[in-house]
Structures are given as C-alpha cells and as structure tokens.
Amino acid sequence: MTDERIITASEGHMLTNGEIYASSVRLGDWDSADNWHEVTKEEYEAKMAEMAEVEDAIY
Amino acid sequence: MDIAEKVLRQKKDFDDVYEAGKKAEYDAFWDGYLATPKKTGIGYCLFAGVGWNENTKIPYKIDFITNGYNMFIYSGNIPKTELAKIDFSKITTFFPVFNYSNIQHIPELDTRGVSSLGTVFAYVTSLISIDNIILRDDGSQTSLNLFNNNINLEEVRFAGIIGQNGFDIHWSTKLSADSLKSIINTLSTTTTGLTITLPKTAQANYEAVYGLSSWSTLTATRSNWTIAYA
C-alpha cells in the first residue's frame, strides 16, 4: 500500500484505537495516527481470548 | 376392459390413494410443526440441528417469522433453494440466526425489518456465499458484526447502506474481488468518524482481478472511512 494515510504496526505488534485491532490502518479523513497505538501480539491475543470467552457465554 | 387392464387400473388407483395419503401425512406434519410459529412469529430453533440438512424440503413459503433468534443453530447444509422459501423481510429480531450451522450458500436476505443486526452468521465456518444482504437505505442499522468466524466466505453482496460502526469481516480472507467491491460501495458517503475492518488479504485479492493500484482507487471513494486490516 502506498497511501500516505496508512499506518502499520511494527513486527510483533498490533494497532488499536481502544476498540478495533488491526495490523495496518488506512486512516479516514477524520482520523489521525494519534488515535491509534501499538500493543504487543501477546496483549492482543489475551484480549481476543477474553472476547472469545464472552462470546462463548452468549452462544 | 380385460383382467390385465383392470389390475393396472386398480394398481394406479391404489398408488393414487397411497400418494394422497402420504401427502396428507406430510402436510399434517408441516401444518402442525408450523402452527405455533405461524401464530407467534417466533422462529426460535425452527430448523435447529443436523436433522435439517440437504434432504430438507420446505413445502411452502414461510412468511410469518418475526423473531429469527437461533433459527438455524447447528443445522445441516440446508440447500439455498429451500432457504429461499423463507421470507426474512418481516423479521425484526436477528441476533444469531445461522450460528454454528453447516449451511454453505444463503440466498438473498432482506434485513430491513431489523434495527440491530447482531452476529447473524456467527461461527458458520462452512459458509461460502450469500447472494445479497439487503440493508436499509438510511444506514441506520447497528451491530454490524455479522461475520464472526466465517473463514470460508468467498462471495457476498450488499444493497443499501452501511452507516454505523462495527462492520468487521476480517475472518473472511477468501473474499472475492467483487465481494470487496460490494462492501466498499455500500459504505455511506456522508458519515464521518467510522471504521470498517477487512481481512489483510483484501488488497491482494482485489488487485489480482482489477490490477495494481485498483484497491487504492476503490478505497479512495470512501476516504470518510477508516479501514482497518486485521
């Protein structure tokens, strides 16, 4: 991707805006790189496991 | 009429009565099975379980369901032609509808009666195609996380507008170029502050068909959206 409004997580990390997790992001006109920060893959996986537990309870 | 003709006539009469009896039993089963949903509109677990599968034959149009909660949970692979006999347009409550089923192909779904969609296709890992998901034209529908774990989904089309946060289809790494095009073209052009989550394979899948830079060109038409790749 060559769009300058693209931010990419560094190796071993994911980006998050607090709600959404992504390996890269194409920022919308309204968005800013300041809204996104990196978390480690371990933190990301722990969060996904937590969310999966919630889903299991629902389904 | 000689004896042989009489015997054949009697056999035909017997067969006709036998078939009429079978049909009467068949109709009685379906009329009885659908009597309560017809009265209440509740489709809860109506086709739940593997007993509903490729051999399922729905006898007539089902157009009285208003609550589709768990309607196909753990079902077998009910054919698309049979699913097409169900009118989803009167449904006002979705939440999980097809969750954990083994269905592979879903016909057009008119979701305009539903304000909050929910995890409609959650954990349908067998799902390959959805002909068309009709959304409201005003982009008002919420809970757009319909595609949890649809890891084999290749084809999906949309009509209407995606106008709220929460659309996440990142599990569907096999999405075709035309499916991706349909998703992007369904995004509202007038909202701001919203984010959509797509699979990391989106650009590669799209550009394999439409060429280099085509993905940037397409997504530039929705610069009012943040696109997250997960």
Encode pLDDT of B120-158 as tens digits: 999 999 999 999 999 999 999 998 899 999 999 999 999
Extract the tokens encoding A57: 């309870």
- pLDDT computed for residue B19 by the predictor: 87
Across the interface, do B192 and A24 touch by the CB < 8 Å criterion? no
Task: Give the Cα-Cα-Cα angle B75, B149, B186 (nearest 5 degrees).
Answer: 105
> In the predicted model, what is the mean pLDDT of residues B176-181?
98
Higher pLDDT, residue B26 or B45? B45
Across the interface, do A24 and B229 touch by the CB < 8 Å criterion? yes
**Per-residue pLDDT tens digits for A29-56:** 999 999 999 999 999 999 988 887 877 6
- Looking at this predicted complex, what is its ipTM? 0.91
- The rounded mean pLDDT for chain A is 89
The distance between the two most distant Cα atoms of chain A, rounded to a whole number of Å, is 42
What does the alpha-carbon distance between residue B78 and residue B50 come to, in Å, rounded to a whole number? 9
Using the Cβ of A17 and the Cβ atoms of chain B, whether some distance falls under 8 Å is answered with yes
> In the predicted model, what is the mean pLDDT of residues B156-180?
97
Residue of B143, B90, B138, B96 lying closest to B113 (CA atoms): B90
Burial of B61 (0-12, 13-18, 19+ CB in 10 A): exposed
Work out the minimum CA distance from A6 to partner chain B, whole angstroms: 9
- pLDDT computed for residue A1 by the predictor: 42
> In the predicted model, what is the mean pLDDT of residues B28-45?
95
Across the interface, do B228 and A27 touch by the CB < 8 Å criterion? no
- A18 torsion bin: left (phi>0), alpha (psi -120 to 50), beta (else): left
Best to test chain A binding among B195, B201, B218 (most A CBs inside 10 Å): B195
Work out the minimum CA distance from B226 to partner chain A, whole angstroms: 4
Q: Which of B122, B200, B224 sits opposite A59 (nearest CB)?
A: B122
Range 21-40 of A in CB contact (< 8 A) with B: 21-31
Range 122-151 of B in CB contact (< 8 A) with A: 122-123, 148
> In the predicted model, what is the mean pLDDT of residues B195-204?
97
- pLDDT computed for residue B175 by the predictor: 98
Amino acid, single-letter form, for residue B52: W
- pLDDT computed for residue A3 by the predictor: 58
**Per-residue pLDDT tens digits for B49-87:** 999 999 999 998 999 999 999 999 999 999 999 999 999
Across the interface, do A29 and B99 touch by the CB < 8 Å criterion? no
Strand order in the sheet with A21-22: A21-22, A13-16, A37-40
> Is-contact A58 A38, C-beta < 8 A?
no
CA distances from B45 to A2, B76, B97, B118 (A): 48, 13, 9, 17
What does the alpha-carbon distance between residue B66 and residue B68 come to, in Å, rounded to a whole number? 6
Residue of B134, B99, B105 lying closest to B119 (CA atoms): B99
- The rounded mean pLDDT for chain B is 95
Higher pLDDT, residue B8 or B47? B47
